[in-house]
Chains A and B, each alone.
Chain A
Amino acid sequence: NAGVMQNPRHLVRRRGQEARLRCSPMKGHSHVYWYRQLPEEGLKFMVYLQKENIIDESGMPKERFSAEFPKEGPSILRIQQVVRGDSAAYFCASSPAASYNEQFFGPGTRLTVL
């Protein structure tokens, strides 16, 4: 049973470009979470999604960031018009159901903004 998959593992963007980060949850998992690890700031929750629904986006920056988890395909975290402060490691996690909520983490995507 493959774990949580994230791609790309490393992403380099210039200021003003768009970044798209993909996450495929573990087989049988319908809950996806995104976290960001900024240098010197630790790991912070961004957004929680189920298929076709955003459940909690209380940790998402108000502008330029969006997330989706379509009926088919991976979850996407999209960052428009990236700035240097967006450079961070972005982790995706998945869990099987609300009644059993252990979260399993992917390897992360390291975004570098030049």
Chain B
Amino acid sequence: GIQVEQSPPDLILQEGANSTLRCNFSDSVNNLQWFHQNPWGQLINLFYIPSGTKQNGRLSATTVATERYSLLYISSSQTTDSGVYFCAVGANSKLTFGKGITLSVRP
């Protein structure tokens, strides 16, 4: 099956800093999504981005499908950005998740 690797596994930031989270995947996909799992355990959809670039407020994402990676950018981080960020990819409906990146934003 498809392999998904996320890096770095853990990230600590000071409030206001910027960061880049990376997702590498092993095969061609037609679905790529980024999620934020908040401290209450809920999965929040951030981006549906099988290719191209999207922006939503302080967050943006880029997927280069031909090179099999995606990047999530967080600018001017806030304490509410803390949590686990998952990349998930799919080629035939089911999603395969990476292990996640744990982000801690300190005030």
Partner among A55, A59, A103 whose Cβ is within 8 Å of the Cβ of B33? A103
The yes or no answer to A108 lying at the interface (CB within 8 A) is yes
- Chain A residues touching B, range: 20 to 34
Are B41 and A110 in contact, CB atoms less than 8 angstroms apart? Answer: yes
Are A101 and B41 in contact, CB atoms less than 8 angstroms apart? Answer: no
Are B93 and A33 in contact, CB atoms less than 8 angstroms apart? Answer: yes
Max count, chain A CB within 10 A of own CB: residue among B48, B90, B92, B94: B94
Partner among B30, B86, B97 whose Cβ is within 8 Å of the Cβ of A44? B97
**Chain A binding surface SS class:** strand
Interface residues of B in 64-107 (CB under 8 A from A): 86, 88, 90, 92-100
Across the interface, name the chain B residue whose C-beta is closest to A110.
B41
Q: Which residues of A contact B48 (CB under 8 A)?
A: 102
The yes or no answer to B43 lying at the interface (CB within 8 A) is yes
Partner among B30, B45, B86 whose Cβ is within 8 Å of the Cβ of A43? B86
Q: Which residues of A contact B45 (CB under 8 A)?
A: 102, 104-105
CA distance A97 to B21 in the complex (A): 29
The yes or no answer to A74 lying at the interface (CB within 8 A) is no
Known A-B contacts A31-B93, A56-B93; the reply to A102 vs B41 at CB < 8 A is no
The yes or no answer to A69 lying at the interface (CB within 8 A) is no
Are B97 and A33 in contact, CB atoms less than 8 angstroms apart? Answer: no
CA distance A48 to B94 in the complex (A): 7
Known A-B contacts A91-B43, A104-B45, A108-B43; the reply to A42 vs B99 at CB < 8 A is yes
CA distance A104 to B31 in the complex (A): 13
Across the interface, name the chain B residue whose C-beta is closest to A56.
B94
Known A-B contacts A104-B45, A108-B42; the reply to A59 vs B93 at CB < 8 A is no
Are B99 and A59 in contact, CB atoms less than 8 angstroms apart? Answer: no
| Complex A-B: 9 CB contacts under 8 Å | A31-B93, A42-B97, A44-B97, A55-B93, A56-B93, A58-B94, A91-B43, A102-B31, A103-B95
Which chain B residues have a beta carbon within 8 Å of chain A's beta carbons? 30-31, 33, 35, 41-43, 45, 48, 86, 88, 90, 92-100
